[in-house]
């Protein structure tokens, strides 16, 4: 009799535990995925389209701090603390996202072709671009900041232009607003790099 009573009493507990587990799964928020590429900023200008000859670029892999080199968004909490957002993620790792955004943005402004993974035509000048993101800061409903050291060098030449750009943009509401702030910063960074390449291609003095 004792064994029967114990078995009968444990079944309701198991049902309650199962119901709680199912409720927890049902209440978990869906994952949201974001990209830093900006289709609006990747439209070639009329001036670039009218260029006499195409420009070839090599967008080297971008480096970012280890703490943000992941799919999850990392946002500042203050007092040296950050949150790792499991349900708000980049569509790919952050360094890949930034590299793609810069490649598309620079190419659009110059009507250029990124030949990093492909050979350039024989004898064509190629401009190699490197970018080291030293800070990538995100604060919800506040700001998005990108601090990057970047360089441009024409392949086969020793002269190199190295600059540092710190771009802080206001972030709109929520996670989408934060992503929009980072996109705006990358649009400006793309423009600065494109201007440097344009000057080099024209044989003009370049500066940061």
pLDDT value of residue 45: 53
**Mean pLDDT of residues grouped by 10 in the chain (208 residues)?**
47 49 60 84 52 84 96 90 94 96 96 94 94 97 98 93 98 96 97 96 86
Q: Please report the pLDDT score of residue 4 as a whole number.
A: 47
Burial 9-24 (b: 16+ CB within 10 A, else e): eeeeeeeeeeeeeeee
- 150 in Cβ contact with 165 (< 8 Å): yes
pLDDT reported for residue 191: 97
**pTM for the predicted model, two decimal places:** 0.82
CATH assignment of 32-201, among 3.90.850.10, 2.40.420.20, 3.10.450.50, 3.40.50.10610: 3.40.50.10610
Domain boundaries of the chain, sorted by first residue: 32-201
Q: What is residue 53's predicted lDDT score, i.e. its pLDDT?
A: 72
């Amino acid at each position: 009799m004792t064994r029967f009573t114990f078995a009968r009493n444990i079944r309701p507990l198991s049902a309650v535990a199962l119901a709680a587990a199912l409720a927890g799964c049902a209440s978990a928020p869906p994952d949201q995925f974001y990209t830093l590429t900006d289709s609006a900023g990747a439209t070639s200008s009329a001036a670039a389209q009218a260029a006499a000859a195409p420009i070839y670029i090599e967008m080297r892999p971008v480096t970012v701090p280890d703490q943000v080199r992941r799919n999850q968004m990392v946002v500042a909490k203050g007092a040296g603390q950050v949150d790792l957002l499991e349900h708000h993620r980049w569509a790919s790792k952050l360094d890949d996202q930034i590299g793609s955004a810069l490649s598309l943005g620079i190419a659009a402004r110059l009507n250029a072709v990124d030949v990093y993974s492909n050979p350039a035509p024989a004898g064509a000048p190629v401009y190699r671009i490197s970018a080291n993101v030293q800070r990538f800061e995100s604060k919800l409903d506040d700001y998005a900041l990108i601090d990057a050291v970047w360089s441009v060098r024409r392949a086969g030449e020793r002269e190199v232009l190295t600059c540092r750009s710190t771009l802080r943009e206001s972030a709109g509401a929520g996670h989408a607003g934060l992503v929009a702030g980072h996109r705006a910063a990358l649009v400006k960074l793309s423009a600065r790099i494109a201007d440097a390449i344009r000057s080099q291609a024209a044989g003009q003095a370049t500066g940061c």
